[in-house]
């Protein structure tokens, strides 16, 4: 089956389990009126995700053989439709998990897996997954499942995507507006796979506790509402259907699953075959407590967006005069965008560019850095290297890590992502096409980079719309992205953790979205906040880097 209809439904639940079941059945019936092959429901549909104690959590959880599950299975069979739900599920020894369940069109359970990353208060009551989430082979195609916080960082969806599913199904219980704006669609685009996501609406805590919980989280009680915006996303990141932020809703789209089998970039690069799993092994290593990396509260960063050498160098000089501490130029600027043909000439032009930048740095402060990329000879072969310059010379040399069809002349790839300490923070440099791999930035985050320079050539709209904002958010890292036509600065802020006061702005529903400055001229300068990278706790016991499911990340760094 290639062309299918899928539906995502959104609704709220309460502490009344029988009433919640009736809501599920009513919305399933409503969705079934559109004749979908698949319906996705929100997270924790059996009971509102708030518990008095562990015993209460266990009592309101469901079992695989109880009336709640049997009723959902019955609706799947009655409508001849696959249904994906998420519930709190009773386990052995009084344990409870947040579990995704997929029913096939006969009502049988096609597969299940547990939530891997618990958010805030969930850590006090639920057990995280202990097994790698499977890819389910169904008559609809290959399917992977996850839930809410699992989609806020890259590892869960990526570990599914490398095994080539057609569909990723995400059930949410979230009040964050940036779920719909960023975290949901980016998982489709970065993996070139369909995503069907269903979120809650209505109060996410009992009405009697709204004021208390809001005070604990230091947000207005009005934000303790499910953020809705359930959606269906195409493999290029296009949102095919989206529900409103409030109110029960069903959204439907017809999708061609064959689109999820095409993993090619516009330049012909296969995003999965070009991965370097051997480089990603640190993602699967146990987090260790690291010594804090000194970093400045704020600095100025600059990106150059230019087509000509003279214009670009003039912009660099202006950035130096305006006290920018990190200046980033586009990939292989100012070589022709059409590709490198004469390698010797390109290497000579790169050397001249380096010499010009060094002359400009002579008038710069000692802590000013400039990033660009160059064609360089390596023995009998050729390298594409990122160079980070200071007044003394080359502070960091970073070789391109992934093969790209745009640069078939590269004969030697880098063997690691390096970082370097500047006086104002730790810096990483991402070279060209390496920027499309979420693993690249994760490797920088694991080395506590607070600022990452990206010398880019952007080929697809999702990269700047979703990719770079997500890399800044999920890694708690400032990014400067220089492209010849679509540069941007993505600055994380101190305001991030939910249980502390937000100092610079009131909470607006967006938990973890960077400040974005889009380039509209040759030179764009904006503040960066290196010290803010030290805080990676989005909520109680939920760290967006060290809290990754490292024990379950094997598919990311193992050959498939």
Length of the chain as a residue count: 560
**Rounded distance between C-alpha atoms, residue 112 and residue 136, angstroms:** 9
Alpha-helical (H) ranges within 376-533 are 438-446, 461-462, 468-475
Q: Average pLDDT, stretch 10-25? A: 98
pLDDT at residue 292, as a whole number: 78
CB 446 within 8 A of CB 476: no
The three-class DSSP label of residue 556 is helix
- Does 166 reside within a domain? yes
In this structure, the answer to whether residues 235 and 331 fall within a common structural domain is no
Give the DSSP per-residue string, 199-211.
-B-SBSS-GGGHH
- Does 282 reside within a domain? no
Q: Which long-range contacts (CB under 8 A, 24 or more apart) does 341-344 make?
A: 343/375, 343/377, 343/382, 343/409
Q: CA nearest 169: which of 240, 239, 86, 76? A: 86
Task: Express each pLDDT in 292-313 by its tens digit.
Answer: 789 999 999 999 999 899 999 9
Strand partners, 304: 523
Tokens of 211: 């004021």
**Rounded distance between C-alpha atoms, residue 489 and residue 486, angstroms:** 11
In this structure, the answer to whether residues 395 and 253 fall within a common structural domain is no
In this structure, the answer to whether residues 317 and 400 fall within a common structural domain is yes
In this structure, the answer to whether residues 143 and 39 fall within a common structural domain is yes
Q: CA nearest 197: which of 145, 258, 265, 122? A: 145
Helix (H) or strand (E) holding 313: helix 309-321
Average pLDDT over the chain, rounded to an integer: 97
In this structure, the answer to whether residues 306 and 257 fall within a common structural domain is no
Q: Give the neighbor-by-neighbor strand order of the sheet with 109-114.
A: 109-114, 96-103, 82-90, 38-40, 3-10, 249-256
Q: Give 3-state DSSP helix, strand, coil % of the chain, rounded to 5.
A: 30, 25, 40
**Rounded distance between C-alpha atoms, residue 167 and residue 184, angstroms:** 13
pLDDT at residue 189, as a whole number: 98
Domain boundary among 232, 247, 262: 262
DSSP letter, residue 386 = E
**Rounded distance between C-alpha atoms, residue 397 and residue 429, angstroms:** 9
Q: Average pLDDT, stretch 52-60? A: 97
Q: Identify the band that residue 559 occupies on the pLDDT scale cut at 50, 70 and 90.
A: confident
**Rounded distance between C-alpha atoms, residue 225 and residue 244, angstroms:** 13
**Rounded distance between C-alpha atoms, residue 11 and residue 14, angstroms:** 10
- Does 481 reside within a domain? yes
More confident residue, 77 or 559: 77
**Rounded distance between C-alpha atoms, residue 502 and residue 219, angstroms:** 9
Q: What is the CA radius of gyration of the chain?
A: 24
Q: CATH number, domain at 548?
A: 3.60.110.10
Domain boundary among 262, 285, 320: 262
CB 236 within 8 A of CB 462: yes
**Rounded distance between C-alpha atoms, residue 315 and residue 482, angstroms:** 13
pLDDT at residue 337, as a whole number: 80
More confident residue, 475 or 1: 475
In this structure, the answer to whether residues 24 and 148 fall within a common structural domain is yes
In this structure, the answer to whether residues 38 and 149 fall within a common structural domain is yes
Dihedral pair phi/psi, residue 9, rounded to 5°: -120, 150
**Rounded distance between C-alpha atoms, residue 91 and residue 445, angstroms:** 35
pLDDT at residue 344, as a whole number: 95
Residue 338 reports pLDDT greater than 80: no
CB 160 within 8 A of CB 554: no
- Does 378 reside within a domain? yes
Residue 497 reports pLDDT greater than 80: yes
**Rounded distance between C-alpha atoms, residue 29 and residue 35, angstroms:** 10
Q: Average pLDDT, stretch 28-32? A: 98
Alpha-helical (H) ranges within 362-507 are 438-446, 461-462, 468-475
In this structure, the answer to whether residues 90 and 156 fall within a common structural domain is yes
* Angle subtended at Cα 264 by Cα 262 and Cα 265, rounded to the nearest 5 degrees: 140
Q: CA nearest 100: which of 115, 117, 90, 110? A: 115
Give one word for 489, left, alpha or beta, with left for phi > 0 and alpha for psi -120 to 50. beta
- Does 274 reside within a domain? no
- Does 535 reside within a domain? yes
pLDDT at residue 290, as a whole number: 76
Q: Which domain holds residue 393?
A: 302-557
- Does 291 reside within a domain? no
Before 165, cis peptide (omega within 30)?
Answer: no
Domain boundary among 236, 262, 288: 262
In this structure, the answer to whether residues 219 and 344 fall within a common structural domain is no
Alpha-helical (H) ranges within 335-464 are 343-361, 438-446, 461-462
In this structure, the answer to whether residues 56 and 139 fall within a common structural domain is yes
Task: Express each pLDDT in 123-170 by its tens digit.
Answer: 999 999 999 999 999 999 999 999 999 999 999 999 999 999 999 999
CB 127 within 8 A of CB 133: no
**Rounded distance between C-alpha atoms, residue 481 and residue 454, angstroms:** 5
In this structure, the answer to whether residues 258 and 319 fall within a common structural domain is no
- Does 295 reside within a domain? no
CB 367 within 8 A of CB 231: no
**Rounded distance between C-alpha atoms, residue 208 and residue 470, angstroms:** 35
DSSP letter, residue 548 = S
**Rounded distance between C-alpha atoms, residue 389 and residue 395, angstroms:** 5
In this structure, the answer to whether residues 307 and 255 fall within a common structural domain is no
**Rounded distance between C-alpha atoms, residue 43 and residue 408, angstroms:** 45
Burial of 338 (0-12, 13-18, 19+ CB in 10 A): exposed
Task: Express each pLDDT in 393-407 by its tens digit.
Answer: 999 999 999 999 999
Q: Average pLDDT, stretch 540-546? A: 96
Residue 1 reports pLDDT greater than 70: no
Q: CA nearest 312: which of 105, 523, 80? A: 523
**Rounded distance between C-alpha atoms, residue 256 and residue 238, angstroms:** 14
Q: Which residues contact 19 (CB under 8 A, 6 or more apart)?
A: none
Q: CA nearest 471: which of 153, 118, 150, 119? A: 153
Number of domains in the chain: 2
């Amino acid at each position: 089956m290639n062309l299918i209809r899928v539906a995502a439904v959104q609704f709220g639940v309460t502490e009344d389990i029988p009433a919640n079941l009736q809501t599920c059945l009513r919305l399933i019936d409503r969705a079934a009126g559109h004749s979908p092959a698949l319906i996705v429901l929100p997270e924790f549909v059996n009971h509102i995700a708030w518990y008095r104690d562990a015993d209460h959590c266990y009592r309101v959880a469901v079992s695989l053989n109880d009336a709640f599950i049997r009723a959902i299975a019955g609706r799947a069979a009655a409508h001849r439709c696959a249904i994906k739900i998420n519930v709190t599920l009773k386990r052995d020894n009084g344990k409870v998990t947040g579990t995704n369940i997929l029913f096939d069109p006969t009502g049988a359970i096609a597969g299940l897996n547990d939530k891997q990353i618990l958010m805030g208060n969930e850590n006090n009551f639920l057990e995280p997954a202990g097994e790698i989430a499977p890819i389910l082979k169904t008559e609809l195609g290959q399917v992977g499942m996850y839930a809410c916080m699992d989609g806020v960082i890259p590892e869960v969806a990526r570990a599914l995507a490398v095994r080539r599913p057609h569909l990723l199904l995400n059930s949410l219980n979230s009040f964050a507006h940036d779920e719909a704006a960023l975290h949901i669609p980016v998982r489709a685009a970065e993996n070139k796979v369909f995503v069907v996501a269903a979120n809650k609406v209505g109060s996410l805590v009992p009405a009697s506790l709204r004021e208390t919980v809001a005070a604990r989280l230091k947000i207005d009680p009005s934000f303790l509402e499910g953020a809705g915006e359930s959606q269906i996303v195409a493999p290029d990141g296009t949102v095919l259907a989206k529900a409103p932020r409030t109110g029960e809703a069903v959204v439907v789209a017809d999708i061609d699953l064959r689109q999820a089998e095409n993993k090619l970039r516009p330049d012909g690069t296969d995003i999965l075959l070009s991965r370097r799993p051997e480089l990603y092994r640190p993602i699967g290593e146990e987090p260790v407590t690291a010594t804090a990396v000194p970093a400045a509260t704020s600095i100025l960063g600059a990106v150059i967006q230019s087509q000509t050498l003279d214009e670009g160098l003039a912009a660099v000089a202006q950035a130096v005069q305006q006290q920018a501490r990190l200046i980033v130029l586009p990939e292989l600027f100012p070589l022709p965008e059409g590709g490198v043909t004469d390698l010797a000439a390109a290497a000579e032009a790169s050397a001249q560019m380096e010499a010009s930048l060094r002359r400009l740095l002579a008038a710069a402060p000692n802590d000013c850095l400039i990033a660009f990329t160059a064609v360089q000879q390596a023995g009998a072969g050729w390298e594409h290297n990122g160079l980070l310059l200071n007044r003394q010379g080359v502070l960091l040399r970073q070789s391109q890590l992934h093969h790209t069809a745009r640069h078939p002349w590269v004969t030697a790839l880098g063997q690691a992502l390096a970082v370097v300490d500047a006086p104002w923070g730790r810096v990483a440099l991402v070279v060209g096409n390496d920027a499309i791999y979420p693993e690249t930035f994760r490797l920088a985050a694991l080395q506590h980079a607070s600022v990452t320079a990206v010398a880019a050539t952007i080929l697809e709209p999702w990269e700047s719309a979703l990719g770079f904002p997500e890399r800044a958010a999920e890694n708690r890292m400032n990014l400067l992205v220089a492209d010849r036509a679509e540069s941007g600065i993505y600055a994380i802020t101190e305001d991030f953790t939910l249980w502390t006061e937000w100092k610079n702005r009131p909470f607006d529903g967006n938990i973890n979205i960077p400040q974005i400055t889009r380039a509209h001229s040759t030179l764009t300068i904006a503040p960066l906040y290196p010290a803010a990278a030290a805080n990676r706790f989005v909520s109680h016991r939920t760290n967006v880097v060290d809290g990754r499911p490292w024990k379950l990340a094997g598919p990311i760094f193992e050959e498939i």
